[in-house]
A and B are shown apart, each in its own frame.
Chain A
Amino acid sequence: MVKEATEKVIPNPFVPYPATLTSSVDLTTDVKLFTLELDRPEDEFDYKPGQFAFVSAFGVGEGPFGLASVAYRKEGLQFAVRRVGTVTNALHQLEPGAKTGVRGPFGNFFPLDDYKGKNIIIIGGGIGFAPLRPVITTILDNREDYGEVLILNGARSPSDLCFASEFDDWAKPPRTKVELTVDAGDDNWNGRVALIPDVLAELGPSPKDAIAIICGPPIMIKFTLTRLKNLGFGDEQIVTTLEGKMKCGLGKCFRCNVGEKYVCRDGPVFTFAEISQFIEQF
C-alpha cells in the first residue's frame, strides 16, 4: 500500500501549462468558445473526445471544462464555457492575447474506435452539448467508419443552442441527421418546441447495433434514459459523461467521487451499465 516517497524532484501536477487565449467567440448569450494555444511546444498533449482540462483565470482560480476540439486537427485547445460562477466570469472577461493556463488532459474518453460500424445517436442538452462536439467532429471526419448518425441537440431557447453555426455542416454527409429542439421558441424559430426525451420517443431510433451518447443536465439525462430503455436500448449501449465538483482532476481532493469511483479519473465517461453498479446515486 505505502509507496516510498522518492528523492527525485517530482513535477508539481498543480502547475498548469502556460497558454494564450487566441480567440473568444460568443456561442450563446452566456456561453463562449475559447481557443487556447500552449506557449511552449514541449507542453503539447494528445487528447481524445470526452476528456477535459482545467483552465486558469489567474487571480481567481481554475475550473474543469470538456475539451471541445479534436487533437488531430491541431486547431488549438477549445473549450465552451458557460458563465455561471467566479472563474467562468473571469474567463469570459479575458480578451484574445490574455495569458492563461491549462492543466490536462484528464479523465477517460468515448471509445469511438469501439463504436465503428455502429449507428450513433448523439443527444445533448444546453451546455451539455459541448463535450459531444469532438465526438461529432471525429465521427464526421471518419464518416465511412460509422453507420447512421442522429444528432439531437436541445436547449431552453433558440439562442441557447450551442454550435448553431455548425449544424448545416453536420447535416451534409449522407446518413446523417441533425434534429434541433427547444423548450420555448421565439419569433424566428420554425423548428420543434419540445423536450428532448419526447423528441427522442417521436424519432424512435432503433437500438439495433446502436450506441446512444448523452450529455446534459441531470433531469434531462434521467428522462432521456427512460425513453432509451423504452426503445429497447440496453444499459451498455448508453454512454454519458458525468459532471462532478472537482478541484484537482488527479483523484486526490476526493470531491467528485461517486462511491469509490472518481469522476475525474475513472470517468467522466461511463456507460449506464457501469453507473447502475455505482453504490451511490448520482
Chain B
Amino acid sequence: MTKILGKTGLESWLHNIMQERALVAPKHVGDLILFDPVQSVDEVVFDYENTNLSPKEFFFPRTDTLFTTKSQDNDVELIPTIIDQETVIFGIRPCDARGIAMLDGPYLDDPADSLWAQHRNKTTMIGLSCTKPAPQCFCTSVGSAPNDSSSVDIMLTEVDDGYAVEAVTEKGERLLQGVELKESDVTLSAPSCDTSVPAEGIVETVKKVFDSPYWSRLADRCIHCNVCAYVCPTCYCFDIRDRTDKGKIERIRTWESCQSKGFTRIAGGHDPRADKGSRLRQRFCHKLLYFPQQFGPLSCVGCGRCVVSCPVNIDIREIISDLQELGAKVG
C-alpha cells in the first residue's frame, strides 16, 4: 500500500513546518529557480526540472564562520560556531540529496567537520522524485535513479491526487508525525533517465589515460571560470582566511575551486598544477578516480548542472565517453 498526501495537505504540512523551523524550497529568484528560505507556501515552486544552483549551500554555505575570537586583557577566547537553526529542505532531488550524503565521506571522516555534522543533524531533507528528468540528467548512469530515496529523509512522488509519501529515516518519520495520509493502491511509475553515459569501469580507465594529452587539448577550451565547481553538488573545496571587522576577528571559509589559477601555488612560488591541463584533469580525476578510491562511488551524481552551465560546453558525459574510447585504444 502506498501512503498519499493530498496537494492541500502538503501545503498545510509545509505551512506547519515553517512555524517551528526554517523551510528551504525551490523558489523563483530573478529568472532563476534556487533553493532559498521561503516565508510562505506560495513562494514554493513545485514544478521544476533542477535548480540553477545545488542545495549544497545549506550544508556547506558559500561563507561559513569557523570560529570567532574575543580578546580581553591579552587573553584570546576562541568561540566555535554553533548551529541552532532546525531546517527542512523541501523538494530536494534524489541526485542532490545523494551528493550531500556523499560528502559525508570526506566531511565526517575522522576528525569530523563539526559544522558539516551540525548542518546535517539540524536539517531534514524532503525529496521529490523526478517524474520527467531533464535532457542533461544522467543520474541512472552513475548509480542512482530519478526515484532513488536512499539519501533523503522523506521521499515524495507526485501522483494524480497528490504525493506518494515514504518515510525513509527516523528523522523523516518524526517530521511526518500527525500528518494525515490516505492509503492507496496506486503503483508508482519508475521514470527513466539517460543511461547511455558509459561510467562503468571509468575508475580503471582514468588510471590508464591519466598522462594522455587529452587533458591539455580539452583545457584549450576551458576558461577556468569555476562555474562547474560552484554549481556542482559534490564539489567541496574551500578556502580559509581571517576577517576582521571593527575589532572582531572571525576565521571564515568560503567556496573555492581547483580550477582557479594559484589554487595549489605554495608561498615559495612553486605550483604543481600551474598549467590548465593539469587543473582540468584534477577536477575530473577527483570525481572519477580519487573520490572512488577514497570513498567508493564516483563523486558525480548526474544532475547535469555543469553540462548546462559550462559556457564552453565541457561536458562530463562526453568526457567519460571520450576517456572510455581512449582507454580501449590504450588497452
Closest to A279 in B: B210
Over the window 1-38 of chain A, the binary record of Cβ atoms lying under 8 Å from chain B Cβ atoms (1 yes, 0 no) is: 11101110111111110100000000000000000000
A69 to B11, CA, bound (A): 63
CB < 8 Å: which of B81, B111, B249, B266 contacts A250? B111
B223 within 8 A of A: no
Distance of A16 Cα from B285 Cα, bound (Å) = 32
- Nearest CB in chain A: distance from B79 CB, A: 8
The 8 Å CB contact of A253, one of B151, B238, B295, is B238
Q: Are B76 and A11 in contact (CB under 8 A)?
A: no
Q: Are A244 and B272 in contact (CB under 8 A)?
A: yes
Q: What is the CA–CA distance of A12 and B79 in the complex, to the nearest angstrom? A: 10
* A59 in contact (CB, < 8 A): yes
A245 contacts B by Cβ under 8 Å: yes
Contact B80 A15 (CB under 8 A): yes
Q: Cβ of B290 and Cβ of A259 under 8 Å apart?
A: yes
Given contacts A12-B67, A15-B66, contact A59 B289 (CB under 8 A): no
Nearest chain-B residue to A265 (Cβ)? B109
* CB within 8 Å of B: which A195-249 residues: 217-218, 243-245, 247-248
Interface size classification for chain B: 35 or more
CB-based contact A250/B78 at 8 Å = no
Q: Name which of B42-50, B112-120, B190-198, B311-319 contacts chain A.
A: B112-120
**Which residues 162-180 of B have a CB within 8 angstroms of A?**
none
| A61-B296 contact, Cβ under 8 Å, with A12-B80, A251-B106 | no
Interface flag for B242 (CB, 8 Å): yes
Contact of A7 among B74, B106, B109, B121 (CB under 8 A): B121
Q: How far is the CA of A253 from the CA of B116 in the complex (A)?
A: 13
Interface status of B3 (Cβ within 8 A of chain A): no
Q: Which of A68-102 contact B (CB under 8 A)?
A: 82, 84-85, 88, 97, 99, 101
> A255 at interface (Cβ–Cβ under 8 A)?
yes
Chain B CB within 8 A of A189 CB: no
A10 CA / B295 CA spacing, docked (Å): 21
Inter-chain contacts of A252 with B (CB < 8 A): 106-107, 109, 113, 236, 238
Among the 9-residue stretches B12-20, B124-132, B134-142, B257-265, the one with 4 or more Cβ atoms under 8 Å from chain A is: B257-265
User: CA A6 – CA B265 in complex, angstroms?
Assistant: 36
Chain B residues closer than 8 Å to A217, beta-carbon distance: 268, 270
Q: Is the CB of A260 within 8 A of B293?
A: yes
**B239 at the A interface (CB under 8 A):** yes
Report B-chain residues with C-beta under 8 Å of the C-beta of A260. 289-290, 293-294
Knowing A58-B69, A59-B242 touch, does A84 contact B267 (C-beta < 8 A)? yes
Q: Quick check: B237 and A10 within 8 Å, CB to CB?
A: no
* Pair B78/A16 contact, Cβ less than 8 Å: yes
In the bound complex, do residue B115 and residue A1 qualify as a contact, i.e. CB atoms below 8 Å apart?
no
Chain A residue contacts of B221, Cβ below 8 A: none
Which A residues touch B109, using CB under 8 A? Answer: 3, 251-252
Instruction: State whether A12 and B81 are in contact (beta carbons under 8 Å apart), knowing that A5-B121, A253-B238 are contacts in the complex.
Output: yes
Whether A60 sits at the interface, judged by CB under 8 Å, is: yes
Chain A residues, CB < 8 A from B224: none
Contacts of B239 in A (CB 8 A): 247, 253
> What string of 1s and 0s marks CB contacts (under 8 Å) between A254-273 and chain B?
11111110000000000000
Residues of A at under 8 Å CB distance from B? 1-3, 5-7, 9-16, 18, 56-63, 82, 84-85, 88, 97, 99, 101, 217-218, 243-245, 247-248, 250-260, 279-282
Given contacts A1-B104, A245-B263, A255-B258, 4 further A-B pairs with CB under 8 A are A3-B109, A247-B238, A251-B106, A253-B238
